[in-house]
Amino acid sequence: MRTVYVNGEYLPETEAKVSIFDRAFLMADGVYEVTSVLGGKLIDFDGHARRLARSLAELDMKAPCTEDELLAIHRELVARNEITDGLVYLQVTRGSAGDRDFAFPDPETTEPTLVLFTQNKPGLADNPAAKAGIKVISIEDIRWGRRDIKTVQLLYPSMAKMAAKKAGCDDAWFVEDGKVTEGSSNNAYIVKGGKIITRELSTDILHGITRAAVLRCAKEAQMEVEERSFSIDEAKEADEAFVTSASSFVMPVVEVDGAKVGTGTPGPVAARLREIYLEESLKAAV
């Protein structure tokens, strides 16, 4: 049985409780982060902590604790649950004022809710999909306009995942005004003529922590990077495609809307980036 963290307490998962009046439950009024664990250490923790602080600030939400306290909680959960490879999920909500109201509760009298739990994923970095590649479909992007804030309102991404599953594929890429924004839970890329192309940062996409690290690795490896939007047709004509996220790292995409990308097998750029990213991330893990 897992040990989880709820508002200052480490509890068996069966004893963890949050109020039915919690704002996340009633209004999706919360933000979250997912940090990978490899070899018992946290990957890119500083980046996730910075993005969490930004999400909280953008929503005028009170921080539940300091970054140092958050790191200590992560480490304690990893230790208590004996996680070698896996994930730590963190969620902060605006809390519970004891009733339902559209207006925000007073942060002076309503404390935010802080919940964390682990997921055990043995061999996380050795996912067989990284060698086979994944297939994606495209789907219209009808999410709200502040996708740069990592909120818990994930209904449409969940629907996109299910649409992909029904189509016999692995994931979906969102398309808005003819251009790919991002994947349902990842950032999207194509490779053409050795150049890595991915959408520029804005409120249209999540500012991926793995995205930032992978692009840094690419530039250090003398790979050319162009940050701009691209279409599904461009993706179909690309030499390679891939996605990045905290849980999949660098994942090759071999098919888009039924069309093979390149040779229909994972390409050398994605493979090399995955190798470099994992190597560098493990060196810096905490």
Q: Provide the annotated active-site residues.
A: 150
Residues 278 and 195: their CA atoms lie apart, in Å, by: 21
Question: Which residue's structure tokens are 């530039």?
Answer: 219
Q: Are strands 249-256 and 134-140 parallel, antiparallel or unpaired?
A: parallel
Closest CA to 129 of 282, 249, 268, 278: 249
Residue 40, token pair as written in the block: 């018992």
Direct distance between the N- and C-terminal alpha carbons of the chain, in angstroms, rounded to an integer: 25
Return the beta strands (E) in the chain as ranges: 3-6, 9-12, 30-38, 41-42, 86-93, 113-120, 134-140, 171-176, 179-183, 187-192, 195-198, 224-227, 240-245, 249-256, 259-260
Region label for 10, one of left (φ > 0), alpha (ψ between -120 and 50) or beta (otherwise): beta
Kindly tell me the burial class for residue 9, based on how many C-beta atoms sit within 10 Å of its own C-beta (0-12, 13-18, 19 or more): exposed
How buried is 34 (Cβ within 10 angstroms: 0-12 exposed, 13-18 middle, 19+ buried)?
middle
Q: What letter would DSSP give residue 151?
A: B
Asked whether the beta carbons of 123 and 83 are under 8 A apart, the reply is no
